[in-house]
Amino acid sequence: MRDATPGTVFLEDYQAPSYLINRTELHFELGEEDTILTSRLYLLRAVPDDVPLQLHGQELELLQLSVDNEPLDAAAYQVTDDYLLIHKLPEQCVLTCKTRIKPQDNSSLEGLYKSHSMFCTQCEAEGFRKITYYLDRPDVMSVFTVTIDADAGRYPVLLSNGNLLEATALDNNRHRVQWHDPFPKPSYLFALVAGDLQHIEDSFRTAGGRDVTLRIYVEPKDIGKCDYAMDALKRSMRWDEEVFGREYDLDIFNIVAVDDFNMGAMENKSLNIFNSSCVLAHPDITTDAGYQRIEAIVAHEYFHNWSGNRVTCRDWFQLSLKEGFTVFRDAEFSSDMGSRTVKRVEDVSMLRSAQFAEDAGPMAHPVRPESYIEINNFYTLTVYEKGAEVVRMIHTLLGAEKFRAGSDLYFSRHDGQAVTCEDFLLAMEDASGMDLGQFRRWYAQAGTPVLSVADSYDAEAQTYTLEVSQRCPATPGQAEKQPFVIPLAMGLLGDAGNLPVKLAGEEPDHDTDDNTHRVLIIDREQQQFVFEGVQEHPVPSLLRGFSAPVRLEYNYDRDALCQLMSRDGDGFVRWDSGQTLALQVISEVQAQLSRGEAAAVDPLLTGAFTRLLEDESLDPAMVAEMLALPGEGYLAEQAGEGAADVDLIHRARQRVKQAIGEAAEQVLLARYHGLASDEAYQPVGEQIARRALRNSCLDYLACANPAHLALASEQLASAGNMTDRLAALKTLAFHAEEADWTQPLADFYQDWRHETLVVNQWLQLQAAMPDAGALERVRGLMEHPDFDLRNPNKVRSLVGGFAGQNPVNFHRADGAGYRLLADVIAQLNSINPQIASRLLAPLTRWRFYVGRQELMRGELQRLAELPELSPDVYEVVTKSLQ
Ligand code: TRP
Ligand code: ZN
């Protein structure tokens, strides 16, 4: 049924625009008090009838309006909070509109705003309407010419999309530049930057021989932190040519770093704007994980030039068309730059802990949602990460070659258009001859499917049978689900390694070089697969490479998990088997602790982990991933609704960690010392792997015996890079009862207080510390001179860090953690609704937490009753309470 909440937008109501804007000319006069903008829109009616023109516009002061240079009289138009309505327009005309805005007062960081002394814009999804009256929808594409006037002293650098046409000096120490972007684009890709910026420059020659000037603009304080991103940009450009056949299409590509930014970065045509935390890097201030994130985000935004900009979305329900595809592309890039298996493990553990939770909560929605109140609430893990998994499944089903043919067809067929997920699927079908009819359910049905597998072995017949069934839990508005198409990559493990897999009645496949691996297609509720010529009872290796975003149910015994963990041919399955084993052991310890018994940690687990550490032939990065126990959030999610006991989960997980540390103490020490190196820091795979494993050894050693905290102190004193320094500091801080952590934290602040990005990490570390004083400390830090509620990075580090990474304190039994979060959200609701709404996520999981449901709901209720709730917060709060 269609819900009738006022303000809900529905996909099924989509209508093509009744006017087009062929050309858009914008003239900005930037000032300290306000900004005056004169727009000239070259309009063309696209329907036969004389319908009124309805332009979007919010928080604008209208100063003048004329049609074909004739001022409009007041009866010819109407202004409301959200629209400018103009009646009786000629079929073709030029609309001139002068408005005043106040970027200085814009704390939503949407539209035109100020970050420090710099002007910048963020228009996706619907921010352009806060700049001027416009058809602010992605299917209206226009050629933009932008003129910017500003004070030459304060704003020597003036940027917009496309090519620079001219720069001239004006009176009163002002100057003017004009930019022209030859590619028609929707308003959400418009950008403007003005400031006293410095830049680094490089160049790139495309495969077709075009020389592109590449620049990264930053505030002067950050000029020494741009080199890594420039390198990543050049690697991305080359990779997109080689792997997707996509070349850059202008002579200039700019990146600008800003400190106040709502998300990671934005792909504005030829003028990408980045959250400074996602582009600035230096070994003194950036961790290995930070470097990898920067590389991935630079690539992601660059790849949007084709998957997003040249071919864009018809409407915002199609968001995954560009985001799911681009996340898939950036993940492939990162896999090619580093270790494919490690990248896959990182992505899957994030998907399973956070996206699965979203899919199981009140905000669950399909990859292509059917309705929304506030589109900003749908830039989600489902649209991005699950959307990327859906594209990955198409890649698996078609194979690399046909997938590439589908991608080529999609780009050539739709270049310059605003299209739908359906168009993407049609191109994939047309290029491959594959029918993706039933596969489309991945776009329409929400929820995480459960794949349930049972098996049997017939020793006499030498057959092995898998019984596979699928189901999908109900989600809001979708009680019943139809079967999905699920590619199940698998193999069979025998005593001497992986066995050939041959389905009964099938000829052996001579085309494939690997007869021990295959992909079963699950497309009904229940299916049976019989393998023949199976000479021993195998252990099934299932969902290799995480071939589909599903929960797998198979009753593995611990011996089988150990076998898979040490010997399976698939790296992902080796990791996943270790996770399942750890999960089983942690649950067992939870049960023991809840009965008041002493914990008995299964030596099978500690033994398996010890052997991983002993085997120096393994990739240290993979060993580090395998040693990482499932997170507390994931364990809570696995417990199910009404069953997660945060304190018990924390205690059990710590107990297991300690047992592993004790059992492996000698090899941990040996590896900790053996992995040390005095090489100069470089953010390269081999070094990153070594540091990751070494720091994970340190973590286990500290859990095994507080005496080893001395190693952390030594490491903190001698570290030559931020990865090792922060890991050591975290080890001390997370053992607050045994370690002296206050002085090291204070010293760290003194050393790094001049680097905002480091201060943010310092805030986040303190927010995540599990000691009993955490909540009071966080309240205190909110008063710290370096904290600022208006800066999203600070809020994410401190408040987001507390609510998302400190389960025992956020879920305090007295409800004080929930209160703290709700207090901040109430304040942010008027300052920055997007950030306020994103902070709500941990509260939306209230159904899971035993003994906390009423407290959590109570805070949601309190928020629901606030006056003047933003649509962003309103939508999440009301849907969570339903
Ligand atoms: N399109 C951007 C990306 O995925 C993300 C984005 C959407 C965004 N809305 C935003 C970024 C608002 C910053 C602010 O790359
Ligand atoms: Zn994106």
Give 623-692 as a 3 state SS string.
HHHHHCCCCHHHHHHHHCCCCECHHHHHHHHHHHHHHHHHHCHHHHHHHHHHCCCCCCCCCCHHHHHHHH
3-state class (DSSP) for residue 429: helix
State percent of the chain over pLDDT 90. 98
Nearest to 769 by CA among 742, 789, 788, 747: 742
What's the chain's average pLDDT?
Answer: 97
For 465-507, how does the pLDDT look when each residue is reduced to its tens digit (9 = 90+)? 999 999 999 999 999 999 999 999 999 999 999 999 999 988 7
Proximal ligand: closest to the CA of 268: 1
Angle at which helix 756-768 crosses helix 722-733, to 10 degrees, equals 30
- Based on the fold, state whether residues 328 and 432 are members of the same structural domain: yes
Tokens found for residue 207: 């495969």
Residue 743, SS3 per DSSP:
helix
In this structure, are 299 and 317 located in the same domain?
A: no
Question: Ligand 1, residues 112, 130, 187, 263: which to mutate, most atoms within 8 A of Cβ?
Answer: 263
Closest ligand to residue 263's CA: 1
Taking CA 532 as the corner, what is the angle to CA 527 and CA 538, rounded to the nearest 5 degrees? 85
Which of 379, 385, 791, when mutated, tests ligand 1's pocket best, judged by the most ligand atoms within 8 Å of its CB?
379
Dihedral angle of Cα 817, 821, 823, 827, to the nearest 10 degrees: 160
Summarize pLDDT for 654-706 with one digit per residue, the tens. Answer: 999 999 999 999 999 999 999 999 999 999 999 999 999 999 999 999 999 99
Supply the pLDDT for residue 506: 85
Please answer whether residues 348 and 454 qualify as being in contact, where contact means their C-beta atoms are separated by less than 8 angstroms.
no
Catalytic residues: 301
Residue in this structure with the two tokens 């939306």, named with its chain if needed: 844
The whole-angstrom separation of Cα 587 and Cα 559 is 17
Residues 320 and 238 in one domain: no
What pLDDT, on the 0 to 100 scale, is given for residue 645? 98
Average pLDDT for 781-799: 98
Same domain for 855 and 824: yes
Supply the residue whose CA is at minimum distance from atom 1 of ligand 1.
266
Residue nearest to atom 5 of ligand 1 (CA): 266
Residues 440-455 have a mean pLDDT of 98
Q: Among all ligands shown, which has an atom nearest to the Cα of 374?
A: 1
Q: Reduced to 3 states, what is the DSSP secondary structure of residue 511? A: coil
CATH number of the domain at 854, please: 1.25.50.10
Task: Classify residue 184: in a domain, yes or no.
Answer: yes
| Boundaries of domain holding 49 | 9-304
User: Ligand 1: which atom is nearest the Cα of residue 267?
Assistant: 15
Dist. CA 272 → ligand 2 center (Å): 11
Domain end, chosen from 443, 462, 492, is at 443
Q: CA angle, 793 as apex, 779 and 734 as ends, to 5°? A: 55
Same domain, 368 and 232: no
Nearby residues of 126 by Cβ (< 8 Å), 6 or more positions away? 56, 136, 188, 375
Furthest C-alpha separation in the chain: 95
Specify the pLDDT at position 630: 98
**How remote is the CA of residue 186 from the centroid of ligand 2, in Å?**
15
Helix and strand element counts for the chain (H, E) = 31, 32
Say if CB 824 and CB 845 are below 8 A apart. Answer: no
Section 413-423 average pLDDT:
99
The reported pLDDT for the residue numbered 5 is 62
Residues in CB range of 460: below 8 A, 6 or more apart: none
Domain match, 415 and 296 both? no
> Is residue 617 a part of any domain in this protein?
no
Q: Are residues 88 and 145 in the same domain?
A: yes
**Ligand 2 midpoint to CA 840 (Å):** 22
Whether 44 contacts 19, CB under 8 Å: yes
Q: Which ligand is nearest to the CA of 307?
A: 2
- Which ligand 1 atom sits closest to the C-alpha of 127? 12
DSSP per position, 217-239: EE-GGGGGG-HHHHHHHHHHHHH
The first and second tokens of residue 266, run together, are: 């934005």
Q: What is the mean pLDDT of residues 277-288?
A: 98
Q: How much is the ipTM here? A: 0.97
Q: Which atom of ligand 1 is nearest to the CA of 297?
A: 15
In a domain, 452, yes or no: no
Phi, psi of 48 (to 5 degrees): -65, -35
In the chain the first and final C-alpha atoms are separated, in Å, by 15
Ligand 1 atom with the shortest distance to the CA of 326: 4
Backbone phi, psi, residue 239, to 5°: -60, -40
Rounding to the nearest 10 degrees, give the CA dihedral for residues 221, 227, 229, 231.
170
Helix (H, G, I), strand (E, B) or coil at 757: helix
CB neighbours of residue 607 within 10 Å? 14
Residue-wise pLDDT for 815-843, tens only, equals 999 999 999 999 999 999 999 999 999 99
Q: Which of 113, 266, 269, 374 to mutate to test the pocket of ligand 1 (most atoms within 8 A of CB)?
A: 266
Quote the CA–CA distance of 484 and 174 in Å, as a whole number. 61
- Positive or negative, the CA dihedral 286, 291, 292, 293 is positive
Look at residue 538 in the predicted model and tell me its pLDDT. Answer: 98
Verify that 298 and 327 share a domain, yes or no.
Answer: no
Residue pair 488/542 in contact (Cβ under 8 Å)? The answer is yes
Pair of tokens at residue 336: 């090619």
Probe target for ligand 1 pocket from 109, 112, 120, 122, with the most ligand atoms within 8 Å of CB: 122
Confidence of residue 444 (pLDDT cuts 50, 70, 90): very high
Atom nearest to 124 CA in ligand 1: 9
Structure tokens at 853: 């449901």
Please check whether residues 249 and 360 belong to one and the same domain. no
Task: Give the number of the atom of ligand 1 that is nearest the alpha carbon of residue 834.
Answer: 12
pLDDT the model gives residue 25:
99
> How far, in Å, from the CA of 618 to the mean position of ligand 2?
34
Of all protein residues, the one whose alpha carbon is nearest to atom 15 of ligand 1 is 266
Q: Which residue has the tokens 């310890």?
A: 589
The total number of structural domains in the chain stands at: 3
Interval between CA 842 and ligand 1 midpoint (Å): 21
Q: Which of 124, 298, 318, 796 to mutate to test the pocket of ligand 1 (most atoms within 8 A of CB)?
A: 124
* 3-class SS string, 439-477: HHHHHHCCCCCEEEEEEEEECCCCEEEEEEEEECCCECC
Residues 18 and 130 both lie in one domain? yes
Which atom of ligand 1 sits closest to the CA of residue 304? 15
Q: ∠ CA 669-288-614 to the nearest 5 degrees?
A: 25
Torsion of the alpha carbons at 714, 718, 721 and 722, rounded to the nearest 10: 40
What is the Cα–Cα distance from 301 to 195, expressed in whole angstroms? 22
Closest ligand, as measured to the CA of 264: 1
CB 281 within 8 A of CB 292: no
CATH number at residue 358: 1.10.390.10
Q: Do 247 and 274 share a structural domain?
A: yes
Please compute the mean of the pLDDT values over residues 103-130 and round it to a whole number. Answer: 98
Cβ(688)–Cβ(288) under 8 Å? Answer: yes
Given a cut of 60, whether residue 1 has pLDDT beyond it is: no
- CA distance linking residue 338 with residue 360, whole number of Å: 32
Cα 731 to Cα 16, 216, 622, distances in angstroms: 57, 36, 21
For residues 487 and 548, is the Cβ–Cβ distance under 8 A? Answer: yes
Q: How far is the CA of 125 from the centre of ligand 1 (A)?
A: 8
Separation between Cα atoms, residue 414 and residue 311, nearest integer Å: 6
Ligand closest to CA 327: 2
Q: Does a structural domain hold residue 178?
A: yes
Decide: 420 and 318 in contact? Cβ < 8 Å. yes
Question: Is residue 533 included in any domain, yes or no?
Answer: no
Q: Where is 69: in which H helix or E strand?
A: none
Q: Tell how far the Cα of 85 is from the centroid of ligand 1, in angstroms.
A: 29
Ligand 1 atom closest to the Cα of residue 109 is 14
What is the pLDDT averaged over residues 428-446? 99
Residues with CB under 6 A from ligand 1: 122, 124-125, 262-263, 265-267, 300-301, 323, 379
C-alpha 835/C-alpha 376 separation (Å) is 10
Ligand 1, atom 7, residue with closest C-alpha: 124
CA-nearest residue for atom 10, ligand 1, is: 124
- 308 Cα nearest atom in ligand 1: 1
Taken in order 324, 329, 335, 337, the sign of the CA dihedral is negative
In 3-state terms, what secondary structure has residue 526?
Answer: strand
Domain containing 275 — which CATH number?
2.60.40.1730
pLDDT band at 195 (very low <50, low <70, confident <90, very high): very high
Domain boundary among the residues 304, 332, 357 is at 304
Question: 316 in helix, strand or coil?
Answer: helix
Token reading at 368: 């292509």
Atom of ligand 1 nearest to the CA of 300: 15
Task: Please state the three-class secondary structure of 46-61 as a single string.
Answer: CCCCCCCEEEECCCCE
Which is it for strands 211-218 and 252-258: parallel, antiparallel or unpaired?
A: parallel
Residue corresponding to tokens 């990474």: 805
Instruction: Report CA(53)–ligand 2 centroid distance (Å).
Output: 31
Residue 294 and residue 319 in one domain = no
Residue 498 located in a structural domain: no
Span from the CA of 323 to the centroid of ligand 2 (angstroms): 5
Binned at pLDDT 50, 70 and 90, residue 135 comes out as very high
- pLDDT-derived band at 206, boundaries 50, 70, 90: very high
Which band of pLDDT confidence, cut at 50, 70 and 90, is reported for residue 513?
confident
* Pocket probe mutation, ligand 1, options 106, 187, 262, max atoms within 8 Å of Cβ: 262
**Burial of residue 156 (number of CB atoms within 10 Å: 0-12, 13-18, 19+):** middle
Pairing of strands 83-86, 118-122: unpaired
Q: How far is CA 446 from CA 258, 392, 440, 507, 838, in A?
A: 35, 18, 12, 38, 20
- Of all protein residues, the one whose alpha carbon is nearest to atom 13 of ligand 1 is 263
pLDDT-derived band at 510 (thresholds 50, 70, 90) equals: low
Of 251, 284, 304, the position where a domain reaches its end is 304
Rounded mean pLDDT of 787-816?
Answer: 98
CA 181 – ligand 1 centroid, Å: 21
What gap in Å lies between CA 204 and CA 500, rounded to an integer? Answer: 47
The per-residue pLDDT for 2 is 58
Q: Which two tokens stand for residue 729?
A: 């500091």
Cα(327) to ligand 1 centroid in Å equals 12
Residue 736 lies in a domain: no
Q: Which atom of ligand 1 is nearest to the CA of 275?
A: 13
**Average of pLDDT values for 127-141?**
98
Q: How confident is the model at residue 759 (pLDDT cuts 50, 70, 90)?
A: very high
* Structural tokens at position 25: 């000319």
In sign, the C-alpha dihedral spanning 368, 374, 379, 380 is negative
0.90 exceeded by the pTM?
A: yes
Domain assignment present for residue 39? The answer is yes
Question: Ligand 2 centre from 391 Cα, in Å?
Answer: 14
Give the distance (Å) from ligand 1 centre to CA of residue 329.
16
Q: Which ligand is nearest to the CA of 128?
A: 1
Taking only the tens place, the pLDDT of each residue in 173-192 is: 999 999 999 999 999 999 99
